């Protein structure tokens, strides 16, 4: 095992995406060396350029796919000390329409990555999992010991990926993996230089709200107004992407001091409804967000928020940014980059 605070060379799959790019920046700022492997289906090379400008440090980018053996060979030519695995398709609704695409990309890609790690004797992994593994919880806040019962194919892929990694840790006593179960990442770097830039129609709430506020879309569709919640709309635990990026750095540093698989919730421990988020965004932006309530979306649950106590105990990490900063930073990114990285 590597000494806890020594610099590491980290391979980041999917590092040109939303959470990946912010994590690249956090790692560079923490003194680590970064290689990114990304096929750019959900990411942007421009994001990585801006990450390097913000950090004042370079990273190495490989344009490739984790399912392609030649691309993995390039990524592991100089074996990294650790891997952070983001690369995955990530839209709940789309996964219900195209489950095989999700199984192939997410599960198949993870198997290929684990095989490459084993061949290169790379034993440290931080995995980008999701609170969707909990499905409809019996109670909130949700602890890591809650039942795992997914309600959509996307969540199923994340659960299977967790199980595959866990099995590899069981089989190899030298392997260490931290499985980070994110709740709902939002926000952007406070510079407004990097942020969430979905291609096509956003699948996540916050970028959709931001695009309505900036005039790119006429109104927000709120999926479901009849949930048993404070105002009938779905309640989620929104976490600032900068807090989430910091959690990855902490998880990486923790993973190299231990072995085995460890699942951790990454959330704030506070839930907000869709309409509460809309109001907070209107306040932060000074713009109205026209919206209408429509039918529920398949696979969605009424309310979900985290008990993040275990991450605080083991990583010394807790979220520090509130809903005001989440909305203000999202608005700055959207206002300054109305067409995302394509602008």
Residues with catalytic annotation? 154
SS (H, E, C) 7-62: CCEEEEECCCCHHHHHHHHHHHHCCCEEEEEECCCCCCHHHHHHHHHHHCCCCEEE
Q: How far apart are CA 303 and CA 234, in angstroms?
A: 6
Q: How far apart are CA 219 and CA 210, in angstroms?
A: 10
Q: Report the residue count for the chain.
A: 343
Give the Cβ contact number of residue 19 at 10 Å. 21
Q: How far apart are CA 63 and CA 19, in angstroms?
A: 18
Q: What are phi and psi of 214, to 5 degrees?
A: -85, -5
SS (H, E, C) 313-334: HHHCCCCCCCHHHHHHHHHHHH
């Amino acid at each position: 095992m590597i000494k806890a605070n020594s610099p590491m060379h980290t391979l980041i799959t999917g590092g040109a995406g939303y959470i990946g790019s912010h994590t690249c920046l956090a790692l560079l700022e923490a003194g680590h060396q970064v290689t990114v492997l990304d096929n750019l289906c959900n990411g942007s090379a421009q994001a990585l350029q801006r990450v390097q400008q913000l950090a004042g440090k370079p990273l190495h980018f490989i344009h490739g796919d984790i399912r392609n053996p030649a691309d993995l060979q390039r990524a592991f030519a100089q074996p990294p000390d650790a891997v952070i695995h983001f690369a995955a398709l990530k839209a709940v609704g789309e996964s219900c329409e195209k489950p095989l695409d999700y199984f192939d990309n997410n599960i198949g890609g993870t198997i290929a990555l684990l095989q490459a790690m084993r061949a290169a004797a790379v034993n440290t992994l931080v995995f980008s999992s999701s609170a969707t593994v909990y499905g409809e919880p019996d109670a909130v806040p949700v602890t890591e010991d809650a039942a795992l019962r997914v309600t959509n194919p996307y969540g199923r892929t994340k659960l299977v990926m967790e199980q595959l990694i866990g099995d590899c840790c069981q089989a190899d006593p030298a392997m260490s993996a931290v499985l980070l179960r994110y709740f709902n990442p939002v926000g952007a770097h406070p510079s407004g230089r990097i942020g969430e830039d979905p291609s096509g129609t956003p699948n996540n709430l916050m970028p959709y709200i931001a695009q309505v506020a900036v005039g790119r879309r006429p109104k927000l569709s709120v999926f479901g107004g009849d949930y048993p919640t404070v105002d009938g709309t779905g309640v989620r635990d929104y976490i600032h992407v900068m807090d989430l990026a910091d959690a990855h750095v902490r998880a990486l540093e923790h993973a190299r001091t231990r072995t085995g698989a460890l699942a951790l919730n990454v959330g704030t421990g506070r839930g907000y409804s869709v309409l509460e988020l809309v109001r907070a965004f209107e306040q932060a932006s000074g713009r109205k967000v026209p919206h209408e309530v429509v039918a529920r979306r398949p696979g969605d649950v009424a309310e979900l928020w985290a008990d993040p106590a275990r991450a605080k105990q083991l990583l010394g990490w807790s979220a520090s940014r509130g809903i005001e900063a989440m909305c203000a930073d999202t608005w700055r990114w959207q206002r300054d980059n109305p067409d995302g990285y394509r602008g």
